[in-house]
Chains A and B, each alone.
Chain A
Amino acid sequence: MAIADVLKVLHDLKQDGAVRDYMIFGSVAAMVHTRPFYTRDVDIGVTVASDQEYLTVFGRLAALGRVDGHAIVINDTPVELFPVDISPIIRDAIDHAIRKRVEGVMVKVAPPEHLLLEALRVNRSQDKGRVFMLDDVVDRDKLRALFGRLDDDRTLRRRYEALTGKAP
């Protein structure tokens, strides 16, 4: 299974200390909580202390596949690698990640509440559908708590209300 192979590669990189921590984000993470659907690539957030460390991790992963634009293609699967610090929501997600086992490997997956908030933050047209999809499966208390912690100026709350017609 191509995606499981990618996860095994990341697991091995973490085991040998090349990656501090990582988490599945984006569409593949959403799929954990909803129905399976087509997505082109796998988004992986990595914990790194500096840009240099990120480049090192990128290089280690790239050596196992080929670079195609921003992605690293491993076993025909494009992997988009990014530091978790690009968003406070993603940074918080890795501390609250859900653990799932895939072909003997334990992986961290972003919770649905964080995925919903990040979809609101990025606010592209393709993210709006994801908000509705995730809204069906989130824990409402956790979602409200997350808005409280990570939405200081209430921009995300306003976007949520405009989109869904209701308060979180």
Chain B
Amino acid sequence: MMTERSGGVTKRLLEKLLNDQQRRAERERKLPFAEKLRILDRLQQERRSQETEQG
């Protein structure tokens, strides 16, 4: 059972996580297009490797 104190910690942690996520999203949004394409290249290579492993 969550006490008021533990509920407060959880709420603060959640707010921090959400704020961190928002900041990361904003940072990624502002990346140069070329950098975004490099990230996409990497994601596509990873997906292809996974598909190859799964046969």
Contact = CB atoms under 8 A, between A and B. Distances in A.
Interface in B19-43: 25, 28-29, 31, 33-34, 36-41, 43
Given A32-B36, A36-B39, A2 B44 contact: yes
Contacts, number: 53
Interface string A29-68: 0011111111110000000000000000000000000000
A3 B41 contact: yes
Contact of A38 (B25, B31, B37, B43): B43
Contacts of A100: 33
B47 interface: yes
Chain B, interface size category, equals: 10 to 19
Contacts of B28: 35-36
A2 B29 CA distance: 21
Interface string A80-93: 00000000000000
Among B36, B47, B48, find the residue whose CB has the most chain A CB atoms closer than 10 A: B36
A102 interface: yes
A102 B36 CA distance: 10
Contacts of B38: 1
Interface string A90-123: 0000000000111100000100000000000000
Contacts of B37: 1, 3-4, 28, 31, 36, 102
Contacts of B48: 76
Contacts of B34: 1, 4, 101-103
Given A3-B41, A103-B34, 16 more contacts: A4-B37, A31-B36, A31-B40, A32-B33, A34-B29, A35-B29, A36-B36, A36-B39, A36-B40, A36-B43, A40-B47, A76-B45, A76-B48, A101-B33, A101-B34, A109-B33
Interface of A: 1-4, 28, 31-40, 76-77, 100-103, 109, 137
